[in-house]
Structure 1
């Protein structure tokens, strides 16, 4: 790609705070986003910001008992736009952002901190139940139907209670009809597990040799196509999920970011699933493009179909912070617009230009 047509990562707005921020999420269909984190006194901070031309306006700020770790709108309808959160007290909660005095839903999801949350089934009609997935230090992965308050609809517990691995991240995918749905989980020892929620069992597992900090399918609501796995030690992997070999599983390509920092997450561009942003522990954002191979599958010597991994190309990168970028989210409505939070206690809004040239 010639330099003139390269996408540029530009910082549009920067706001310094006195809050530790862990996550941020655009409110679908609006120019607003939510940040989640912790005040110095270890209470929860939920803020709503709105873009107003060149300014970032604070619409709402709410303090709660427990620090917030993560959030998602994935299980909410477009009409309600309700935010689901996981906190340091192990609770999963759902909030009506017009009235945050009390959550509209609360469940004790884990014994301690909810490390990650993902949502599915809220915005697409006919793609299964609106569900949340959570994971925690207890090594458990739990799935919640937001219409039921009492207990998880699925739970995947550690096989050996004497060898519990911290589960750091979860991600829904393969939710292309009312029946099919998968869930990825990543653990501190490098384990990656794919649970088939229809069969309620492990469909596939591997180990990437480094703690898994982030996971994402390129789209939740299509037949599995590919997914990214982000790790400690500067690595990420992209797995081709179209073809699962009975012994070798999914083909993958691995990439190391230049700085040797933790790869906190990869977020696929909603308007073009081959483009994704990697957020890193060195305060950098790295923009990548995935290139499919000429053939996505071949036959092995036994006649079994074997997937073929593509390649990744770094389009550009930008240093935006002296501290790790903990949370990143693309706007679902305006291509290239993003919000991110870093451990320098700042929130930033940026734009990636020339994505139509990619």
Structure 2
């Protein structure tokens, strides 16, 4: 006789109100600390480091920045250094040593307008090849930076001749399973999704999901492309199977009307990449699991391989705030531990239980 499936629970472990708007929150790898990035009332940016200790949050450090800080990543740093890269409202890309002084180690005017999103790869032992940071901006460009090289990006993806400039809201690295291959996926305000192949500097694939693309994320960066989730302004998300690309139909996908409000972010569970969390404009979190089909590809009527989409199942959901939850980050070390921030100026440390039984 089979035992009944016990659903995971999403528990708000610690909640703290802050005196600024929080745009992003990130766990510091191999630690009980996380970083909050945001905008002070006086118009400057702020970065705060908090430590989780005995059920409470202790402020460890605070750094002020000339411009509000929009986004951050540890993805292009080593586990020994754990430097955070940040993008701000002035289009500046900065890299900070959290143990040292309050001036950035690296700073470049990356874009003419706000950096909406950035992602890193090649650090933390994740993905082969050079450490690189991708930035996406309101100025319509997507750029890739090697922190070891000053001033100029190593790749610059601009709108083509006669192509309208679109606001790039989100970028994500993937396909970094060897030293040669690597791609960047970008999502735009008009629903466009573009996959840039960095090896030959071309658009490998593009599609449109009809609504602004708030977030894209691969389930893993360090393997041959597997799955990509894209979330939208209108509460729908799409899971693309990236293993089989049809020459005309592209990648197959399954879409889910996840919530009635904007889905701000998607984050895959580091210890099980078929489980992911979406954050909502109504202050809610939804925990999902992707189930693969019996066969991931089939032949079309002309004998050409095409992908087969799986199914998405809701494991749990919870409402935490009256305001949108704008960021979420899983702890890379403690399964089920995550931090999220909402526009109610609160940061929350959450514990998701029973993930081993999913």
TM-score w.r.t. the length of structure 1 is: 0.98
Kindly state the Cα deviation for residue 147 of structure 1 after the two structures are TM-superposed.
0.4
Q: Give the whole-Å Cα distance in 1 for the aligned partners of 2:66 and 2:202.
A: 35
1:329 aligns with 2:322: no
Where do residues 183-194 of structure 1 align in structure 2 (5 Å cutoff)? 183-194=184-195
Q: Report the counterpart of residue 283 of structure 1 in structure 2.
A: 283
Q: Report the counterpart of residue 312 of structure 2 in structure 1.
A: 312
Q: Give the whole-Å Cα distance in 2 for the aligned partners of 1:18 and 1:3.
A: 44
Q: Report the counterpart of residue 249 of structure 1 in structure 2.
A: 250
Q: Give the whole-Å Cα distance in 2 for the aligned partners of 1:65 and 1:2.
A: 56
Contact 2:136–2:170 (8 Å) recurs in 1: yes
- Note closer, same or farther for the CA distance 1:274–1:197 as it changes in structure 2 (3 Å cut): same
Kindly state the Cα deviation for residue 3 of structure 1 after the two structures are TM-superposed.
7.2
Where do residues 16-35 of structure 1 align in structure 2 (5 Å cutoff)? 16-35=17-36
SS in 1 for 2:107: strand
Output the aligned Cα RMSD. 1.3
Q: Give the whole-Å Cα distance in 2 for the aligned partners of 1:2 and 1:36.
A: 44
Q: Give the whole-Å Cα distance in 1 for the aligned partners of 2:266 and 2:127.
A: 27
Provide Cα deviations, 1:233-261, integer angstroms capped at 9, x if missing partner: 11000000010011100000000124x10
Q: Report the counterpart of residue 142 of structure 2 in structure 1.
A: 141
Kindly state the Cα deviation for residue 125 of structure 1 after the two structures are TM-superposed.
7.3
Provide structure 2 residue ranges, at least 5 long, that are not aligned to the other structure. Answer: none
Q: Give the whole-Å Cα distance in 2 for the aligned partners of 1:133 and 1:149.
A: 15
Where do residues 339-350 of structure 1 align in structure 2 (5 Å cutoff)? 339-350=339-350
Q: Give the whole-Å Cα distance in 2 for the aligned partners of 1:54 and 1:101.
A: 28
Kindly state the Cα deviation for residue 53 of structure 1 after the two structures are TM-superposed.
1.8
Q: Report the counterpart of residue 13 of structure 2 in structure 1.
A: 12
Q: Report the counterpart of residue 267 of structure 1 in structure 2.
A: 267
Where do residues 169-188 of structure 1 align in structure 2 (5 Å cutoff)? 169-188=170-189
SS in 2 for 1:242: coil
Kindly state the Cα deviation for residue 2 of structure 1 after the two structures are TM-superposed.
8.2
Q: Give the whole-Å Cα distance in 2 for the aligned partners of 1:2 and 1:345.
A: 41
After TM superposition, what 4+ stretches of structure 1 lie above 4 angstroms from structure 2? 1-4
Where do residues 60-75 of structure 1 align in structure 2 (5 Å cutoff)? 60-75=61-76
1:113 aligns with 2:85: no
SS in 2 for 1:278: strand
Contact 2:296–2:309 (8 Å) recurs in 1: yes
Q: Give the whole-Å Cα distance in 1 for the aligned partners of 2:254 and 2:296.
A: 13
What is the total number of aligned residue pairs between the two structures? 357
Q: Give the whole-Å Cα distance in 1 for the aligned partners of 2:4 and 2:155.
A: 49
SS in 2 for 1:356: helix
